């Protein structure tokens, strides 16, 4: 599909350590793809690399989107082209209000779309409408960006940014982590509302838990292990992961680099070689 986000053999290193080892994944317009996998398997690396973060070096493969070579674009150009990433760990910027930040972000994207810059008043009107849509209090936008925001508030601020920017592809990295049950429902409803208004938006939803997928319906579910997608399936895959964990996927020998990733059955049949747990790293978390 020419308009899809098409990731082929994508290999990425961080500080000369290969992290992604040939990722194949296609996210079609209007589809929600969930990405799961153990800690340290490379899910956030994939999102940062897609956004063009300078710490992530692409060593192989291709990423095309809407027929364009995404990897040839600067991070700014990727955002302008409609790629949106909600970070697993949103940054704090004391001294810049959320509203100010959002207006700058929106006008940057609008300029690239040849749309006129929104004045403060026009922006305020739009912001108010979007905040109502997401059931957010207006004062919230006056606070400094993420400064002292609770975990749930950070995630909601990102939903607000997504609602304003109207991306054509959204990568949501653990948007559900750290949310209480009510906040999870609010954020999920936010995603569904934004999606309904923007039905061609493709979503890559990175998560560890089934619970967000009870609210946000995934069309396809993928599992990343050690820098590769090792299993893909429908929503029923989530239930299996929830009850059986990742052991049945991590015990099999990974395919050679750049190899086909859909050969899970063959791998499962191969002699099980006990691997150590996913590499320890920065991303280690306790279960929520």
Ligand X SMILES: Nc1ncnc2c1ncn2[C@@H]1O[C@H](COP(=O)(O)OP(=O)(O)OP(=O)(O)O)[C@@H](O)[C@H]1O
Interacting residues toward ligand X by CB under 6 A: 14-15, 19, 37, 39-45, 55, 88, 279, 281-283, 285
Here the tokens at position 29 are 């317009």
User: Considering beta carbons, is residue 72 or 281 the nearer one to ligand X?
Assistant: 281
User: CA nearest 88: which of 35, 134, 47, 37?
Assistant: 47
User: CA nearest 82: which of 59, 101, 55, 105?
Assistant: 105
Minimum distance, C-beta of residue 75 to ligand X, in the bound complex (Å): 15
Under rule CB under 5 A, residue 38 binds Mg ion: no
Burial class from Cβ neighbours inside 10 Å (0-12, 13-18, 19+) for residue 15 reads exposed
Under rule CB under 5 A, residue 261 binds Mg ion: no
User: Considering beta carbons, is residue 15 or 74 the nearer one to Mg ion?
Assistant: 15
Under rule CB under 5 A, residue 44 binds Mg ion: yes
Please state whether beta strands 202-206 and 32-36 pair in parallel, antiparallel, or not at all (unpaired): parallel
Give the residue nearest to ligand X (CB).
281
Give the residue nearest to Mg ion (CB).
44
Terminal-residue alpha carbon distance, the chain: 37
Please, what is the Cα angle at 69 between 283 and 195, to 5 degrees?
65
Under rule CB under 5 A, residue 283 binds Mg ion: yes
Q: With CB cut-offs between 5 and 8 Å by kind, which of Mg ion, ligand X, none does residue 22 bind?
A: none
User: Considering beta carbons, is residue 145 or 225 the nearer one to ligand X?
Assistant: 225
CA distance 86 to 89: 9
CA distance 85 to 282: 19
List the interface residues with Mg ion, window 79-98 (CB under 5 A): 88
Q: With CB cut-offs between 5 and 8 Å by kind, which of ligand X, Mg ion, none does residue 188 bind?
A: none
Q: With CB cut-offs between 5 and 8 Å by kind, which of ligand X, Mg ion, none does residue 282 bind?
A: ligand X
Which residues contribute to the site for Mg ion (CB under 5 A)? 43-44, 88, 283
């Amino acid at each position: 599909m020419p308009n899809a986000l098409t990731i082929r053999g994508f290999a990425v290193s961080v500080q000369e350590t290969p992290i992604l080892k040939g990722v194949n994944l296609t996210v079609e317009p209007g589809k929600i793809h969930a990405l799961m996998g153990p800690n340290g398997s490379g899910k956030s690396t994939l999102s940062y690399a897609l956004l063009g973060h300078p710490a992530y070096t692409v060593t192989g493969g291709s990423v095309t989107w809407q027929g364009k070579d995404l990897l040839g674009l600067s991070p700014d150009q990727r955002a302008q082209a409609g790629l949106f990433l909600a970070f697993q760990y949103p940054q704090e910027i004391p001294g810049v209000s959320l509203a100010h930040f959002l207006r700058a972000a929106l006008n940057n994207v609008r300029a690239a779309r040849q749309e006129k810059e929104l004045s403060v008043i026009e922006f305020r009107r739009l912001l108010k409408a979007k905040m109502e849509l997401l059931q957010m209090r207006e004062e919230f936008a006056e606070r400094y960006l993420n400064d002292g925001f609770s975990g749930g508030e950070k995630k909601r601020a990102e939903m607000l940014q997504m609602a304003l920017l109207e991306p054509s592809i959204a990568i949501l990295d653990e948007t559900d982590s750290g949310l209480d049950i009510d906040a999870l429902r609010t954020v999920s409803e936010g995603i569904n509302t934004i999606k309904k208004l923007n039905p061609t938006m493709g979503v890559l939803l990175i998560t560890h838990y089934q619970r967000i997928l009870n609210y946000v319906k995934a069309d396809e579910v993928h599992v990343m292990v050690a820098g590769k997608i090792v299993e893909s399936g429908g929503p029923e895959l989530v239930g299996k992961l929830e009850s059986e964990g990742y052991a049945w996927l991590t015990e099999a020998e990974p395919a050679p680099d750049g190899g086909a990733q859909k050969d899970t059955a063959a791998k499962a049949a191969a002699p099980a070689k006990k691997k150590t747990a996913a590499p320890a790293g920065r991303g280690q978390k306790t279960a929520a």
